[in-house]
């Protein structure tokens, strides 16, 4: 269950868009300004190609990500998606709403495995805002939820420096 976001309790499944686009929830219907409590969301399904591309960039060729039989012998249901690849949803969610954002820290707790083909919902909720020299330091609670069983795959906290608290409400050209 995801609670406290946009008023009432909701199951992850109820707000996960099937098209993978970002869905948004703001603390004020009339404002595009980020406030404590605002939640930004994005859904994604990780593919075999995503895992291969990540391995090529990171040089991490752990066979748990490529060999289904080995992954099963190790106690997993299937091939794993890299946890760091899943966590890359957080800076993308933030920067797509705040172009020019600088991601300065992230803590992560890996709670349950993500398998290739799993539908993942990334959630980023503003928990603290501080203005400093025409920029804003914002702390976010971060969470990825597996849509099929609503388990938390990973969670943590992030801090970003934003050039403005005004949210870009339209998808960036790269989407």
pLDDT at 151 over 90: yes
- For residue 9, the model assigns a pLDDT of 31
- DSSP letter, residue 94: H
- For residue 170, the model assigns a pLDDT of 54
CA nearest to 119, candidates 89, 74, 75: 89
Q: Which two tokens stand for residue 34?
A: 């980020």
- For residue 46, the model assigns a pLDDT of 97
Residue 68 CA, chain-centre distance (Å), reads 25
In this prediction, residues 5-25 reach a mean pLDDT of: 39
In the block, tokens 């591309």 appear at 53
Any idea what the Cα angle at residue 162 is, between residues 156 and 165, rounded to 5°? Answer: 105
pLDDT at 48 over 80: yes
CA nearest to 67, candidates 54, 78, 53: 78
76-135 pLDDT per residue, tens: 999 999 999 999 999 999 999 999 999 999 999 999 999 999 999 999 999 999 999 889
Distance separating alpha carbons of residues 109 and 53, to the nearest angstrom? 23
In terms of pLDDT, which residue wins out, 115 or 18?
Answer: 115
pLDDT band at residue 17 under the 50/70/90 scheme: very low
Contact call for residues 81 and 118 (beta carbons, < 8 A) = yes
pTM of the model: 0.80
Q: Please compute Rg for the chain using Cα positions.
A: 17
- For residue 8, the model assigns a pLDDT of 32
Distance separating alpha carbons of residues 30 and 103, to the nearest angstrom? 27
pLDDT band at residue 148 under the 50/70/90 scheme: confident
| Helix or strand (DSSP H, E) at 55 | helix 48-58
Domains of the chain by range and CATH? Answer: 12-49+80-162 (3.10.129.10)
- For residue 62, the model assigns a pLDDT of 97
pLDDT band at residue 172 under the 50/70/90 scheme: very low
């Amino acid at each position: 269950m995801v609670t406290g976001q946009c008023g009432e309790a909701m199951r992850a499944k109820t707000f996960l868009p099937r098209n993978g686009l970002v869905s948004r929830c703001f603390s004020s219907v009339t404002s595009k300004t980020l406030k404590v409590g605002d939640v930004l969301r994005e859904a994604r399904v990780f593919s075999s190609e995503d895992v291969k591309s990540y391995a090529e960039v990171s040089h991490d060729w752990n066979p748990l990500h490529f060999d289904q039989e080995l992954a099963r012998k190790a106690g997993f249901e299937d091939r794993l998606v890299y946890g760091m690849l899943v966590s890359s949803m957080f800076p993308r969610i933030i920067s797509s709403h705040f172009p020019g954002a600088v991601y300065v820290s992230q803590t992560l707790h890996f709670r349950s495995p993500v398998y290739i083909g799993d539908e993942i919902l990334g959630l980023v909720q503003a928990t603290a805002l501080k203005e400093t020299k025409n920029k804003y330091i914002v702390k976010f609670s971060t969470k990825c939820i597996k849509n099929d069983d609503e388990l938390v795959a990973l969670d943590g906290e992030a801090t970003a420096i934003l050039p403005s608290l005004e949210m870009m409400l339209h998808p960036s050209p790269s989407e």
